Amino acid sequence: MSTPIIDLTELFGLSGRGDAPGRLLGKLETANHTGSVKDRPVERMLRDPRVAGAHTLVEATGGNTGISLAVAGSMLGKRVIVTMSRKMSPGKVRQMEEAGAEVILCPLVGLDSPANFINVARQLGEAEGHWYVDQFNNPANVEAHYETTGPELLEQVRDLDAFVAGAGTGGTLTGAGRALKERNPGIDVVLADPAGSTLGPHLRGEETEPAPYLVEGIGGDFLPPLLDFGVLDTAYQVDDAEAAAHLRTLAAAAIDVGSSSGTTVGAALAYLRDHPGATVCALLADSGDRYAETWRNQAWLTDHGL
Ligand code: PMP
């Protein structure tokens, strides 16, 4: 099943803009079974023969991979242990626990600290009978997007000029980006990056100090090993306030998506300002249901100046 493409051109006021208004599309990954794009890599990573020999699956996650793995693990009869930074929304923990996973919340510290969520998962993965799924290094993560997300886009959007997504592991952009470029090297692959992340500046050859931001699941303070910067054409940085504004616009049209979709829509609109008339598709990575206490909660938004 392909996830739907929705047309956001009118919602974002593009249709009335001059002779070459452009087209803004969204790929609605909320239509996947657990409500996020992460069902794709999880399904593919669990084809690994090492799954059969493990009683426990361990993973480090921004939340969505954990939700997907928790559900898959319960169907496979495997114990699932997930590590996640405390920054992430409590709704994600709830969904993982409802599916029977054990969630270990870790402090928001860099990879140089043993308490970092990725280091904690790697350590737990070494125990007898445990398998560390390791989406940050597992090539099946990229393959899933190379074989599904990219070809779907080519099939669904015939005159695509640019694909816009964020990078957590980089699996989406590297996998889908390679598939798009292979078919049509003229398609731009665009990184949507939260302001404060070091990834967008790195693409421009600048090494910056990371700054905190609230958007979840994308950007970061380290270069994800699977992210192929060679496949990226350009990056746009979007701050939390702009992401929140776009989420409000989407919510008002009953399009219920999570924080990183505000960033991808912001980056797609910036791309359209630079490329009038283009057809751009932004990945809408996850459902708003897991952000009930945060991005979909007015009191929280107000508290955070959003
Ligand atoms: N958006 C959200 C909400 C996510 O959770 C993730 C994955 N952490 C992404 C986007 C980025 O996907 P990828 O890991 O393929 O780069």
Of 132, 151, 175, the one marking the end of a domain is 132
Considering its fold, how many domains does the chain have in total?
2
For residues 107 and 234, state if they share a domain.
no
Tokens of 99: 């599916």
| Residue closest to 142 by CA, chosen among 44, 74, 238 | 44
For residues 152 and 274, state if they share a domain.
yes
List all residues 6 or more positions away from 196 whose beta carbon is below 8 Å from its beta carbon: 210, 211, 212, 213, 219, 239
pTM: 0.97
The CATH number of whichever domain residue 172 belongs to comes to: 3.40.50.1100
For residues 159 and 260, state if they share a domain.
yes
For residues 60 and 32, state if they share a domain.
no
Residue 95 parent element (H or E): helix 90-98
Q: Clarify whether 87 is annotated catalytic.
A: no
Which residue range(s) make up the domain with 98? Answer: 47-132
For residues 147 and 175, state if they share a domain.
yes
Q: Establish whether residue 190 lines the binding site of ligand 1, counting it when its CB lies within 6 angstroms of any ligand atom.
A: no
Taking the C-alpha atoms of residue 148 and residue 27, their distance in angstroms, rounded to an integer, is 13
For residues 9 and 55, state if they share a domain.
no
Of 73, 106, 132, the one marking the end of a domain is 132
Q: Establish whether residue 42 lines the binding site of ligand 1, counting it when its CB lies within 6 angstroms of any ligand atom.
A: no
How far, in Å, is the centroid of ligand 1 from the Cα of 251? 20
For residues 115 and 158, state if they share a domain.
no
User: For the segment 126-141, what is each residue's pLDDT rounded down to a tens digit?
Assistant: 999 999 999 999 999 9
How far, in Å, is the centroid of ligand 1 from the Cα of 218? 5
Residue with the smallest CA separation from ligand 1 atom 5 is 217
Of 132, 160, 188, the one marking the end of a domain is 132
For residues 217 and 280, state if they share a domain.
yes
Q: Establish whether residue 218 lines the binding site of ligand 1, counting it when its CB lies within 6 angstroms of any ligand atom.
A: yes
Tell me which DSSP letter residue 55 carries.
Answer: S
Q: Say how many CA atoms lie within 13 Å of 147 toward its Cβ.
A: 10
Taking the C-alpha atoms of residue 91 and residue 291, their distance in angstroms, rounded to an integer, is 6
Q: Say how many CA atoms lie within 13 Å of 278 toward its Cβ.
A: 20
- Show pLDDT as tens, one digit a residue, over the chain (306 residues): 899 999 999 999 987 666 667 999 999 999 999 999 999 999 999 999 999 999 999 999 999 999 999 999 999 999 999 999 999 999 999 999 999 999 999 999 999 999 999 999 999 999 999 999 999 999 999 999 999 999 999 999 999 999 999 999 999 999 999 999 999 999 999 999 999 999 999 999 999 999 999 999 999 999 999 999 999 999 999 999 999 999 999 999 999 999 999 999 999 999 999 999 999 999 999 999 999 999 999 999 999 999
Residue with the smallest CA separation from ligand 1 atom 2 is 217
For residues 156 and 284, state if they share a domain.
yes
For residues 162 and 187, state if they share a domain.
yes
